[in-house]
């Protein structure tokens, strides 16, 4: 049975179910307890599970990631929260040099099953140090998995799968998605990591989008349909491991592809997807060049108008897709 709930509520429910099911699961981070997290996602969990399993930490991202890594090595399944993805910079040593590599370096004799949740993205007027999308840094690191759900149902299922996974998972939650609503099953369920999903079928152009950009791509597809352009929207959901086959199959069908993400264009995930497509069977089916629509290569501005122009909007997706279809004719 499903009911409608917000993205934030779906994440909270996933954490609650995991903690009720497995005593090894615990939560740690800055203000995750009494305060309920920077965005209220963990509200009420400390009252239910106590301060031993919902641990408020000092203001040290390095300590949060280090404790989570150590706890995972000893058999626990921590869920760590970094309040803003920008602050993940302070935990890079623990994530990149330790958590990502220990299983490999010790010949598979240990596992590091922990999830690092972090809100990302612009749109809240939080300026350059609280609005970044840094997911592709971690896509580049062997040993880490990277997940970016776009819907409440995916957020719940993917988080539960991430908690069960024996590897460290970076779980990226866009701040503007927290209040979005959708149908979410009540039961405990997992959505497998490394499985893309076609969110809308189409024949004229493929739009591959991540996180909040999936929501905007779907709205853009509705507007494009009014002009007779049927866009297929695909959400990779897991950036690493990437399920490329549905992306390739879609481009083979439509002959045109637009890749949309919020992070800065240079070095962004869109470049990796473009390379995967160019090296695949889809290349021979392209009727137009691969197009990327991404954030500008600047720090996120504080000014709301400038902030809005810095990242792709619905109208940008519509205009770029229209040009792409026109080029191909």
Residue that is last in its domain, among 185, 211, 239: 185
User: Is residue 93 included in any domain, yes or no?
Assistant: yes
One domain, residues 83 and 124: yes
One domain, residues 73 and 201: no
One domain, residues 220 and 307: yes
Instruction: Give catalytic residues, as residue numbers.
Output: 130
User: Is residue 191 included in any domain, yes or no?
Assistant: no
One domain, residues 70 and 171: yes
| 229-258 pLDDT tens trace | 999 999 999 999 999 999 999 999 999 999
**Mean pLDDT, range 10-14, rounded to an integer:** 98
DSSP string, 79-120: EEE-SSGGGGGGGHIIIIIIITTHHHHTTTS-----EEEEEE
One domain, residues 177 and 41: yes
C-alpha distance from residue 127 to each of 41, 112, 123, 264 (Å): 22, 34, 9, 15
One domain, residues 141 and 27: yes
pLDDT number for residue 1: 82
One domain, residues 274 and 160: no
Asked if the model's pLDDT at residue 329 lies above 70, the reply is no
H-helix segments, 205-289: 212-225, 245-254, 269-278
| 189-226 pLDDT tens trace | 999 999 999 999 999 999 999 999 999 999 999 999 99
Residue that is last in its domain, among 128, 157, 185: 185
Q: Which domain holds residue 35?
A: 2-185
One domain, residues 51 and 10: yes
Tokens of 51: 């301060």
User: Is residue 298 included in any domain, yes or no?
Assistant: yes
Nearest to 165 by CA among 185, 143, 186, 184: 143
pLDDT number for residue 327: 79
Average pLDDT, rounded, for the chain: 97
Give me the CATH number covering residue 25.
3.40.50.970
One domain, residues 172 and 261: no
pLDDT number for residue 154: 98
User: Is residue 287 included in any domain, yes or no?
Assistant: yes
Read off the pTM: 0.97
C-alpha distance from residue 117 to each of 17, 72, 107, 135 (Å): 16, 15, 27, 12
User: Is residue 257 included in any domain, yes or no?
Assistant: yes
> 115-120 and 169-174 as β-strands: parallel, antiparallel, unpaired?
parallel
User: Is residue 18 included in any domain, yes or no?
Assistant: yes
pLDDT number for residue 328: 63
One domain, residues 94 and 218: no
pLDDT number for residue 205: 98
C-alpha distance from residue 100 to each of 24, 111, 146, 162 (Å): 20, 10, 12, 15
């Amino acid at each position: 049975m499903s009911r409608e709930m917000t993205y934030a509520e779906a994440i909270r429910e996933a954490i609650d179910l995991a903690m009720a099911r497995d005593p090894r699961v615990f939560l740690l981070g800055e203000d995750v307890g009494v305060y309920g997290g920077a965005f209220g996602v963990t509200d009420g969990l400390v009252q239910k599970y106590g301060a031993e399993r919902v641990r408020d930490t000092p203001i040290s991202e390095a300590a949060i990631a280090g404790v989570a890594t150590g706890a995972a090595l000893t058999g626990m399944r921590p869920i760590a929260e970094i309040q803003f993805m920008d602050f993940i910079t302070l935990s890079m040593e623990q994530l990149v040099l330790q958590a990502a590599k220990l299983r490999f370096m010790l010949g598979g004799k240990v596992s590091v099953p922990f999830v690092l949740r972090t809100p990302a993205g612009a749109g809240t007027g939080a300026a350059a140090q609280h609005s970044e999308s840094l997911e592709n840094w971690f896509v580049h690191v062997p040993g880490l998995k990277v997940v970016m759900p776009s819907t409440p149902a995916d957020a719940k299922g993917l988080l539960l799968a991430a908690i069960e996974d024996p590897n460290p998972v970076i779980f990226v939650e866009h701040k503007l998605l927290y209040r979005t609503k959708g149908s979410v099953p009540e039961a405990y369920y997992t959505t497998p990591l490394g499985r893309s999903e076609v969110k809308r079928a189409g024949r004229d152009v493929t739009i591959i989008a991540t996180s909040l950009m999936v929501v905007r791509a779907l709205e853009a597809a509705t507007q494009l349909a009014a002009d007779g352009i049927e866009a297929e929207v695909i959400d990779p959901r897991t950036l690493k491991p990437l399920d490329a086959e549905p992306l390739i199959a879609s481009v083979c069908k439509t002959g045109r592809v637009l890749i949309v993400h919020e992070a800065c264009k240079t070095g962004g995930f869109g470049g990796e997807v473009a390379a995967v497509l160019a090296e695949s069977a889809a290349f021979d089916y392209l009727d137009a060049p691969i197009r990327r629509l991404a954030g500008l290569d600047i720090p996120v501005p504080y000014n709301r108008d400038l902030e809005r122009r810095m990242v792709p909007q619905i109208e940008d997706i519509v205009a770029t897709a229209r040009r792409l279809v026109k080029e191909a004719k």
